[in-house]
Amino acid sequence: MAHTLVIVESPTKARTIRGFLPKGFKVEASMGHVRDLPNNASEIPASAKGQKWANLGVNTEADFEPLYVVPKDKKKTVRELKDALKGADQLLLATDEDREGESISWHLLQLLAPKVPVKRMVFHEITKEAIAKALDQTRDLDMELVHAQETRRILDRLVGYTLSPLLWKKVAWGLSAGRVQSVAVRLLVQRERARRAFRSGSYWDLKAQLEQPSGVFDAKLTHVAGKRVASGNDFDESTGGLKAGSEVRLLSEEEARALAQRVSEAPWTVDQVEEKPTVRKPVPPFTTSTLQQEANRKLRLSARETMRCAQGLYERGFITYMRTDSVHLSDQAISASRHCVEDLYGKEYLSKAPRQFSTKARNAQEAHEAIRPSGERFRTPGDTGLDGRDLALYELIWKRTVASQMAEARLTMLAVDLSSGDARFRASGTRIDFPGFFRAYVEGSDDPDAALEGQEVLLPALAVGDAPKPKAVEPLGHQTQPPARFSEASLVKMLEKEGIGRPSTYASIIGTIVDRGYSTLQGNALTPSFTAFAVTALLEEHFPDLVDTSFTARMEHTLDEISHGQVEWLPYLETFYKGNQGLELQVQQREGDIDPGASRTVDLEGLSCVVRIGRFGAYLESKRVSEDGEEELIKATLPREITPADLDEEQAELILKQKADGPEALGEDPETGDLVYLLFGQYGPYVQRGQVSDDNPKPKRASLPKGVKPEDLSLDDALGLLRLPRLLGEHPDGGKVQAGLGRFGPYVVWDKGKGEKDYRSIKGDDDVLAIGLSRALELLAMPKRGRGGRTALKDLGKPEGSEETIQVYDGPYGLYVKQGKVNASLPEGKGADDVTLEEAVELLEAKAAAKKTSRRKSTTTKKPAAKKPAAKKAPSTTKTGRLRASAVRVIKPGNS
């Protein structure tokens, strides 16, 4: 029986759409891209091997023709799609409504070569109404979008696969460069350089608590003898002193304390009272970029996690398409938002007229709506049946959308100037006259109600001439703070502001920066590594345009012009890559001039030694004169926790001295008589009892817990760490409770016997050396979290005959199921709500069996007879007749 075949990207999306289609429609999933440029040497077909352009992966001599291959793991999917097409009388390509989705549809069309009518079906939400409308309004493929996506893909490959091999030779193996990635890394490095150059300034001021019959309020010192008192903004970050020409009064501690004493005893007068009404308007609904920023600030989700979660919400029909630059809302969305406001908050909380927003982001080009709840009537978060991060993200989107149609918040800003002798003070307050949209959503705050309290700072009734009494006057010392490191949210904001890259790619870019060792996430801050400093310095010196924000933004603008048909793609690629100033010629001319020794050296101001990048990370190098007068070279590994901004001469000298002279003992362990040493290793400082010898090849060691500074460590603390784990007592249900220090930090553990143990991490104010049994029992009673603080997304239950539950987690490499110590990744396209207990059992059994097989192989002593390698079958290939690319390394350079 003939049918209409609909192809989407994922099984989840296919399942949701299937419920809204009439009979006679069959929905299949492509599982994302079905073909791409080769990722490694094994994917390059025999016809291309040995070609001059094979290393680059793009045939620059044949109009930049790409060579597309079907990866091994997609061949089965392609066969299944071809089989599904056999009985169809029509093909609808229903991939996402953006460049990437258009590109996937085009690749499907090229591979499947259908002999039946083909139409493009697009929608930005998966609801019955949207799908019905999409069926009525099918269109042809937008080849301008396809050309733009293909040009972007090839440009990224040209940059990544031309510069990355250069970095392997000149800095370290496995590094990558990318058109957007390298600019983002440079932004992190520039901020870290600013932190290193920063010099702290100190200043003092006063805070007074004053009493009036109608209440108590605070005031801050602003002037002394008619001159403004210095604040943090008055200091030069490079010197720590006041900025040149600054006409302010810098109080010393002694002056501040004397002034505090003086005004505490003197009369006070209210000189001026000012009330200024103001309004706050709601922010626009979410775009891809602003959703990533706010989810990072409020929910502590990475950009990757946010996009993965939003993708699932979209595919299950909860929100509209999540890759968009637009803040526009449809009439349907405005109507649904206003219904929510009226039902939940009342008519007085509605804006006077429907509120529409316009997009101000540079290079905005996606033609969708903003990200919002789907449908003609929005489901409240409580009615969705969602939980965990899915619920949190949906609630964030729901609140922001609904708030966009709410009334403005009306506030009154209060300012009172007071004087006491020659000192002037100011008290500031805020009165919320009408909360408006604050009732639903306050940007950057988790709880709107708490935010309202925090924003409202009330002052007692005051009039000119009033004489409040000083209750307390406190002198306060301040230190200026260095520029904050970028968080994921602030980096995304900066990239978008500068017009660099596409918001839909920011998640993968930040992920690549972290994966390749250019940055680490410490708390919520992106801290660049010494390798990032070395690579950025090389690119700044030899390829400055490629890490220049304005150059990259212009390139992004040109790519957008290509998507609109305003610029021809081929001449642009010819100029960028092959022109007199093209990338190909630049690399050829400059490669010989780049000294690997210099490229691996990070010369930091204020250090008498240098930092070098080695095979196993960063290390210090310094020349010293030995006791016999010979000059010797000292090398010492830098602990990973030391950042470029924080490495100072004192730290460097301590690490080098320890390497040259051996460690200095903290003291003696009274129980064993062994000396206790503080040492520095690649993974940070640690303590060790005794020295390595033939009699003691593995002396007892213990890492310093996070936050403990080596210089503050006492002998007693070191002995306490070396005696871990320590027994805290008996558990009420039987078994021992201990505190210890492991690979992932301090912990408490309940040893139930027979090898069964229940662990909880120790965080916050709890100290592994001081924690008691009662606190340990509290921690053990809390729900267990996965590695890295992950909480299970779904509990699938216990299989028959098993005592251990199977749970679904979201890790750095995607969703996985876990039972005990066995983890198994979910297949691509499978969501947390899709997997059943039976499927999870199969995945875990297969993983366990694979581990056993691997162990058996590793313990086999018999050497197998050598076999002649079988000829490899070349991957499926399809030429476009237009562009062409491949790769020959297993390590993948950055593509963005």
User: 140-191 pLDDT, tens per residue?
Assistant: 999 888 888 899 899 999 999 999 999 999 999 889 999 999 999 999 999 9
Whole-number pLDDT of residue 131 = 94
**Sorting pLDDT into bands at 50, 70 and 90, what band is 866?**
very low
Average pLDDT over residues 691-717: 84
Average pLDDT over residues 573-598: 91
Average pLDDT over residues 451-459: 68
Q: Is the pLDDT of residue 786 over 60?
A: no
Whole-number pLDDT of residue 658 = 80
Residues 6+ apart with CB under 8 A from 785: 761, 791
Q: Distance between CA 313 and CA 300 in Å, rounded?
A: 18
More confident residue, 832 or 789: 832
Q: Distance between CA 742 and CA 761 in Å, rounded?
A: 10
Q: Which of 646, 667, 665, 663 is nearest to 654 (CA)?
A: 663
C-alpha dist (Å) from residue 143 to 101, 325, 434, 590: 12, 21, 51, 38
More confident residue, 518 or 682: 518
**Sorting pLDDT into bands at 50, 70 and 90, what band is 655?**
confident
More confident residue, 249 or 871: 249
Is 321 assigned a catalytic role? yes
**Sorting pLDDT into bands at 50, 70 and 90, what band is 879?**
very low
Whole-number pLDDT of residue 863 = 46
**Sorting pLDDT into bands at 50, 70 and 90, what band is 770?**
confident
Counting every residue, how long is the chain?
Answer: 896
First vs last C-alpha separation in the chain: 45
Q: Is the pLDDT of residue 459 over 60?
A: yes
Task: Please tell me the pTM assigned to this model.
Answer: 0.77
Of the listed ranges 185-189, 433-437, 575-579, 883-887, the least confidently predicted one is 883-887
Question: Token pair of 99, please?
Answer: 């460049």
Q: Distance between CA 375 and CA 332 in Å, rounded?
A: 8
Amino acid letter, 680: F
Q: Distance between CA 564 and CA 365 in Å, rounded?
A: 9
Q: Which residue has the tokens 């980096």?
A: 491
Average pLDDT over residues 716-721: 89
Q: Is the pLDDT of residue 218 over 50?
A: yes
Query: Which residues are bridge partners to 824 per DSSP?
Result: 817
Whole-number pLDDT of residue 711 = 76
Whole-number pLDDT of residue 443 = 67
Whole-number pLDDT of residue 877 = 44
Whole-number pLDDT of residue 796 = 83
Q: Which of 520, 526, 497 is nearest to 289 (CA)?
A: 497
Write the secondary structure of 195-215 as one string of H (helix), E (strand) and C (coil): HHHCCCCEEEEEEEEEEECCE
Q: Is the pLDDT of residue 476 over 60?
A: yes
**Sorting pLDDT into bands at 50, 70 and 90, what band is 529?**
very high
As a whole number, the mean pLDDT across the chain is 86
- The vertex-450 CA angle with 448 and 454, nearest 5°, equals 110
pLDDT tens digits along 334-373: 999 999 999 999 999 999 999 998 876 544 444 478 999 9
**Sorting pLDDT into bands at 50, 70 and 90, what band is 850?**
low
pLDDT > 90 fraction of the chain, expressed in percent and rounded: 56
Whole-number pLDDT of residue 865 = 46
**Sorting pLDDT into bands at 50, 70 and 90, what band is 813?**
low
The three-state secondary structure class of 491 is helix
Of the residues 68, 161, 203, 321, only one is catalytic, namely 321
pLDDT tens digits along 84-123: 999 899 999 999 988 889 999 999 999 999 999 999 999 9
Q: Is the pLDDT of residue 430 over 80?
A: yes
**Sorting pLDDT into bands at 50, 70 and 90, what band is 823?**
confident
Kindly state the helix (H) or strand (E) to which residue 25 belongs, with its residue range: strand 25-29
